[in-house]
Amino acid sequence: MKALEGIRVCDFTGQLAGAGATKWLAAFGADVIRIEDPVNQGAWDILRSVPPFVDDRRGPDFGGGFNNHNVEKRAITLNLRTERGKELLAAIVERSDVVTENFAAGVLERWGFGYAALKALRPDIIYVSNCGFGHTGPYADFKTWGPIVQALSGLTFTSGLPDMEPAGWGFSYMDHTGGFYMAMAVLLALIHRQRTGEGQWVDMACCETGLTLNGPAILDYTVNGRPMRRPGQPNGNRSDWPRMAPHGIYRAQGDDEWVAIACRDDRDWRACIAVIGEAWAGETCWATLAGRLAAQDRLDERLNGWCGRRGKFDVQRAFQAAGVPAAAVQKPEERIDHDPATAEFGLWPLVRHTKMGEVRVDGLPVRFAETPWTIQRGGPCVGEHTEEVLVELLGLSAAEVAALREEGVV
């Protein structure tokens, strides 16, 4: 049984910030139909044609990231510059529960499919838009992409070593997270509609979404007047809230090998003393949290020395055996191919892509007892389901679809 069977999504999303949202919905059985432009071969979603690739083939059907984010969806092309293309889209909207998009603000409106138009087609339509700054406010016309959202929302700033330039995130964390909240918005609006019969527009401003993730720091500012921009901040891998020490990522034996250790309290520290097994660790100056916090630099130096003579997984095992949180900083190969905890969750399903063949993708980190997710079908090629959707959903004949193709509508 599928949790979202019977829900149809007319999906204009792309990249990860939008496509990640509808991936969740599709994996639970929603019928997600991507609408793309036949003229530029769906190029608005740049991930269609950028690395990684499985082999030497290139083009809009070979982007590895696109495949990863668009499993279990269907894709059609519609030329919205043509009247016929607009008519067909209108017919799809009439048969959809949800319209999703993450264009810059106003793009869908300019095509004649703003919220008012969507609502005219289907009064209880749910429309969820996700862009950096939202559709209102002084910056509504500004453009963003993942790293810019992270910069604006305080998240880049809070990732880094003290008194150095920010380290930032190293990936589009807010594309992932924007996608999470976008999917939540769709589900919340569906629940709302189920209870009241009414649809609605949800306007997501991804920068605001990111800003909500700084809660305690913002309250420290509004209540205590203490800004995060101050000497000593950000604090690297240390922990101020709650206070812990030692707490860091330490150099282990080997090339660019690291291990994280988090000593939560004095009980943990007593366990650490036994694991470390060297005289310095037993000195009374380290016995209390206050003592360890007071000389964190020296403590970290000691631990860097100790860990540096050991393999990162050996360190992880030794501390874990003593009940102290520790984890090797895993490289992709280690956590994907050799970690029993990701294998246990079936986290890397193999999908069949029409052109790329069999490829592994990110699965979902959840197990539903009654309605498990399914990820088997790869991301759709450009227009792969145009005929199927127009025939099944809109009742066109194959000949009519062929004619539309001739006219450049699909």
Partner 1 sequence: MSALAGLRVVELAHERIALAGKLLGDMGADVVVVEPLGGCPTRWHEPFVDDVPDPERSLTWWHYNTSKRSIELDWKRPEGLAALQALLAEADVLLESEDPGVLGAHGLTDGVLTGVLPRLVHVSMTPFGPTGERRDERATDLTLLAGGGPAWNCGYDDHTLPPIRGGGGHGYAIGCHYAVLSVLTAVLHRELGGRGQRVDVSMHAAANVTTEMGSYNWLVAKGTVQRQTGRHAGQTPSMPSQQRCADGRYVNTGVPPRTPGEYAKLLAWLRDLGLEGELPEAVFLEMGAKRDRIDLSKIGVDDEVTAIFAAGREALTFIAGRVGAREFFLGAQRAGIPVGVIYAPEEAYEDEHFVARGFQVEVEQPQLGRTVRYPGAPYAFEKSRWAISRAAPRLGEHTDEILAEVGVDAARLRAAGVVGSGGQSS
Q: Is 12 in the site for partner 1 (CB under 8 A)?
A: no
Stretch that binds partner 1, among 88-96, 201-209, 376-384, 399-407 (CB under 8 A): 201-209
Q: Residue 360 half-sphere exposure, CB side, CA atoms within 13 Å? A: 6
Is residue 30 helix, strand or coil? coil
Which of 235, 253, 296, 374 touches partner 1 (CB under 8 A)? 235
Question: Distance between CA 19 and CA 218 in Å, rounded?
Answer: 30
Q: Is 226 in the site for partner 1 (CB under 8 A)?
A: yes
In the stretch 25-64, what mask flags binding to partner 1 with x, by CB under 8 A? ---x----------------------xxxx---------x
Structure tokens at 381: 């090629």
Which of 71, 80, 189, 404 touches partner 1 (CB under 8 A)? 189
Which of 201, 270, 291, 377 touches partner 1 (CB under 8 A)? 201
Q: Is 99 in the site for partner 1 (CB under 8 A)?
A: no
Q: Which of 143, 160, 158, 159 is nearest to 207 (CA)?
A: 143
Contact assessment for residue 9 and residue 96, using Cβ atoms and an 8 Å cutoff: yes
Stretch that binds partner 1, among 249-257, 272-280, 282-290, 393-401 (CB under 8 A): 249-257
Q: Is 315 in the site for partner 1 (CB under 8 A)?
A: no
Is residue 288 helix, strand or coil? coil
Which of 110, 163, 241, 284 touches partner 1 (CB under 8 A)? 241
Q: Which of 79, 85, 76 is nearest to 383 (CA)?
A: 76
Which of 90, 106, 111, 169 touches partner 1 (CB under 8 A)? 169
Which of 84, 95, 270, 335 touches partner 1 (CB under 8 A)? 335
Stretch that binds partner 1, among 32-40, 91-99, 248-256, 383-391 (CB under 8 A): 248-256
Which of 39, 120, 167, 290 touches partner 1 (CB under 8 A)? 167
Query: Which one, 371 or 376, has the nearer CB to partner 1?
Result: 371
Query: Minimal distance in Å, beta carbon 169 to partner 1?
Result: 6
User: Phi first, then psi: what are they for 204, rounded to 5°?
Assistant: -100, 130
Question: Distance between CA 4 and CA 10 in Å, rounded?
Answer: 15
Query: Minimal distance in Å, beta carbon 17 to partner 1?
Result: 11
Query: Minimal distance in Å, beta carbon 391 to partner 1?
Result: 27
Q: Residue 252 half-sphere exposure, CB side, CA atoms within 13 Å? A: 19
Query: Minimal distance in Å, beta carbon 171 to partner 1?
Result: 4
Question: Distance between CA 280 and CA 275 in Å, rounded?
Answer: 12
* Residue for token pair 């569906």: 190
CA angle 2/8/10 to nearest 5° reads: 140
Question: Distance between CA 410 and CA 403 in Å, rounded?
Answer: 9
